[in-house]
Chain A
Amino acid sequence: MIYVYAIVDRPETPLPGQLGLHDEALTAVVWRDVAAVVSTFDAAQLARTADELWRHENVVEALMSNRAVLPARFGTMLPSRQQIGDILRSFYRTLVQDIERVRGHVEIGMRFLSNIEESAELEQPPAASNRFIARGAGPGSAYLLARLARKQQLQDRQRAKLGLVRDVYDLLARHANASWLDREWNDRRGISAAFLVPRDRIGSFRDVVGEVAGANRGVALLCTGPWPPYSFVRTGAGGTDWSKRRHAS
């Protein structure tokens, strides 16, 4: 198999001396002015370990030193170079647009958790607080309406948390050229955001993060980076189209 690390521009530029997964040499499959950076790969040996992931990441980051890079998802493999070339041709326009967008930028990621451990117990919703007034409600309706009221209570809580995050997000988004925020708060992983930041503004972005982190708003944040722009590519599956993930204003 041919393992793909990234799609890059400037195919004429020599590849880094870095070795890929399992110490295979890096080569390029070129179509016009884009290239896929690849190495041969024994699919049977794919091990999803931290080492392999960092090796993939190191290749991508090495490429970022002197060109625009669209990182490929870990484990992307095709049977032949020919097919990779065909795909570059099929997706050429999208790839070129994405390359233009990310050139000279890095991704910085944020995750937010609410400071208070989620409590399973909510206050009993008052009987009349739901929006549906049942006329002569029987036990079945009462049951459903109580459930509905609880759901709405949960949603209100989500909205409040999201409001807190939104302030921080909006502030940081002003320091980035593109950004997105997850639409929903996930109880386990909180809510995520990503920012496309020009390289020469990484320092000031970090400063702003430090400032907002200091102001405790009932929301804890984790900020990591700089990363290659995984979250800002469109050629992909599984809902990774970043332009669709943008939080509705």
Chain B
Amino acid sequence: MRADATLGSDQKVIHAPDDHALLERFARPLNDAPRETPERIVIDPKKVEHDLARLVLSVIELLRQLLERQAIRRVESGMLSDDEIERLGVTLLKLETRMGELKVAFGLGNEELTLDLGPLRDLVSECE
């Protein structure tokens, strides 16, 4: 396929781990990502309510995590008074508790509420 590559190498891999598991991890993005069409949240008419709940809760959960990260950054910045920290924390605590109740009520686990953000994944950095 690349016989006419003039940089002098037929294959581009100079070094790769021998370990199969590590190789899989290196190749992982290629496996996960290619999609011909954007991912759709499938709404099954037979369980519309459940799927809608899943969709709505997924979005709420995402927002909750983003807000929480913002709050943590502010606490870290030292710009908040103790009182503000306490109020912020109580609100977030309530939010987390409420989300927990909703998840139980709808029988949804954390895995089902994780939205695949695709390109936004990097914007919403994993390393809080």
Which residues of chain A have a CB within 8 Å of any CB of chain B? Answer: 18, 51, 54, 57-58, 61-62, 64-65, 106, 108, 111, 113, 115, 117, 132, 134-145, 147-148, 151, 154-155, 158, 184-190, 202, 206, 209-210, 213, 220-228
Residues of B within 8 A of A151 (CB): 72, 76, 128
Stretch at the interface among B4-12, B38-46, B47-55, B101-109: B4-12
Verify A220–B14 contact, CB threshold 8 A.
no
Among A64, A144, A148, A213, point to the contact of B7 (Cβ < 8 A): A64
Contact B86 A185 (CB under 8 A): no
Q: Are A189 and B29 in contact (CB under 8 A)?
A: yes
List 28 contacting pairs A-B, 8 Å CB cutoff, sorted by A.
A57-B5, A58-B2, A62-B5, A111-B26, A113-B26, A132-B75, A135-B82, A138-B90, A140-B92, A141-B86, A142-B89, A143-B90, A144-B71, A144-B85, A144-B88, A145-B75, A147-B68, A155-B127, A158-B127, A184-B125, A185-B127, A187-B126, A188-B28, A220-B17, A223-B13, A223-B14, A224-B12, A226-B8
The smallest C-beta distance from A162 to any residue of chain B, in angstroms, reads 11
| Minimum Cβ distance to chain B for residue A4 (Å) | 20
- Select from chain B the residue with minimum beta-carbon distance to A16: B6
Minimum CB distance partner of A149 in chain B: B72
Q: Which residues of A contact B87 (CB under 8 A)?
A: 140
Beyond A58-B5, A140-B88, A147-B72, 20 additional pairs, beta carbon < 8 A: A57-B2, A58-B2, A61-B7, A113-B26, A117-B25, A132-B78, A134-B85, A140-B93, A141-B89, A144-B75, A147-B68, A154-B127, A154-B128, A184-B127, A188-B29, A202-B8, A225-B12, A226-B7, A226-B8, A227-B12
For B28, list chain A residues within 8 Å (CB): 188-189
A132: B residues at CB distance < 8 A:
75, 78
Residues of B within 8 A of A222 (CB): 13, 15-17, 26
Measured in the bound complex, the distance between the Cα atoms of B19 and A36 in whole Å is 43
B81-120 Cβ-contact flags toward A at 8 Å (1 or 0) = 0100111111111001000000000000000000000000
Inter-chain CA distance A205–B81, complex, in Å, is 54
Q: A186 and B26 in contact (CB under 8 A), knowing A151-B72, A209-B15? A: no
In the bound complex, residues from chain A placing their C-beta under 8 Å from that of B93 are 139-140, 143
Q: Is B86 a contact of A18 with CB atoms below 8 Å?
A: no
With A and B bound together, what is the CA distance between A117 and B9 in angstroms? 32
Which B residues contact A (CB, under 8 angstroms)? 1-2, 4-9, 12-17, 19, 21-22, 25-26, 28-29, 68, 71-72, 75-76, 78, 82, 85-93, 96, 121-122, 125-128
* Inter-subunit contact A223/B90 (CB<8 Å): no
Whether B127 and A148, one on each chain, are in contact in the complex, defined by CB atoms closer than 8 angstroms, is no
Which residue from B4, B21, B22 sits with its C-beta under 8 Å from A18? Answer: B4
A210:B15 contact, CB within 8 angstroms: yes
Assembled-state Cα–Cα distance A31/B83 (Å): 64
User: B91 to chain A: which residues have CB within 8 Å?
Assistant: 140
Least Cβ distance of A157 to chain B in Å? 9
Question: B91's closest neighbor in chain A, by CB?
Answer: A140
Q: How far is the CB of A198 from chain B (nearest CB, A)?
A: 13
CB distance from A53 to the nearest CB of B (A): 11
* B7 and A227 contacting across the interface, CB-CB below 8 Å: yes
Kindly name the residue among B85, B88, B122, B128 whose own CB sees the greatest number of chain A CB atoms within 10 A: B85
Residue pair A140, B76 in contact (C-beta under 8 Å):
no
Assess the B82–A141 pair: CB atoms within 8 A: yes
Query: Contacts A61-B6, A151-B72 hold; do A138 and B127 have CB atoms under 8 A apart?
Result: no
